[in-house]
Structure 1
């Protein structure tokens, strides 16, 4: 898939190049327990890209997902409301190569984190889910991956309107 993501006002970024950036990030994964490397690449409104990778922890519960790392990095840079697309890929990583052809999808926690950014930015983020080696990519709108979402809109008080 190499069509332009021009709906995001992002210049010449393609789905393939965004996925390639996610794959490059996955190579930096710290995943000594699962050996399952995940990379994420966020496309911002201005065409820039922010990446993240999963970061495991011996306690497991403190593990950080690639998508969450990327979104937190975007927030730190002042771009939480500017996310327009995310590419995600991952799989078993062995001897500098990915093993497996399965498409991966963001977990529920990551979908919720992305939903927060989507609501703040008033934009239904495109989520490109890919296989580790890049042979397959599925496009989804965040709203289809997290229907009936709960977010900031649900916490608005009539007193704050």
Structure 2
């Protein structure tokens, strides 16, 4: 037996003031989307904003349902909406923010596993990386250059 090590490098910004204007604006749009989330069961809101190559921004937020797991995460709401509304247009970057409804969370929250798999599909589909910026309600912002930094052993069509 031998061990395989996987390493990843992420960038961390102390707060949103360190972001360039494009990323800052996208993060602000993800915050606005988070405040519109429908999360009456978990009281945990998530917002996502996606910048497309054509300059359009598509947002999404988590949508819960009493019949678990019928709801959908913000990242998948946004990425599927982008794919449906702008087929063939590449995703340039995405920003997301997550926190309990009291905005108390100050640690970065990455996408869940199901959302990571959905983002991986779009990276493979467009044959280019999607930088992902994520944070809590405030505080540190983390940047991943590609979904592969968050999910290095992705499942893709090569296994089918």
TM-score bucket (shorter structure): 0.7 to 0.9
Helix, strand or coil at the partner of 1:129: strand
Question: Could you tell me whether the CA contact under 8 Å between 2:99 and 2:105 is conserved in 1?
Answer: yes
2:14 aligns with: none
In structure 1, runs of 5+ residues without a counterpart are: 5-13, 156-161
Alignment of 1:7-86 (within 5 A): 14-79=22-87, 81-86=89-94
**In the alignment, is residue 2 of structure 1 matched against residue 19 of structure 2?**
yes
Q: CA RMSD in A?
A: 1.4
Helix, strand or coil at the partner of 1:99: coil
1:152 aligns with: 157
Helix, strand or coil at the partner of 1:58: coil
User: Aligned-pair distance for 1:37?
Assistant: 0.5
Q: Give the TM-score, by structure 2 length.
A: 0.83
Structure 1 runs (4+) greater than 6 angstroms displaced: none
Cα distance in 1 for residues equivalent to 2:159 and 2:26: 32
User: Aligned-pair distance for 1:81?
Assistant: 4.9
Cα distance in 1 for residues equivalent to 2:88 and 2:131: 15
The alignment of Structure 1 onto Structure 2 pairs a total of residues equal to 142
Q: Give the TM-score, by structure 1 length.
A: 0.82
Cα distance in 2 for residues equivalent to 1:87 and 1:52: 11
2:105 aligns with: 100
Residue deviations 1:18-51, cap 9 Å, x none? 1110000001100001110000001111222100
Helix, strand or coil at the partner of 1:69: helix
Looking at both structures, which has the greater relative contact order when contacts are Cα pairs under 8 Å and sequence separation is at least 6? 2
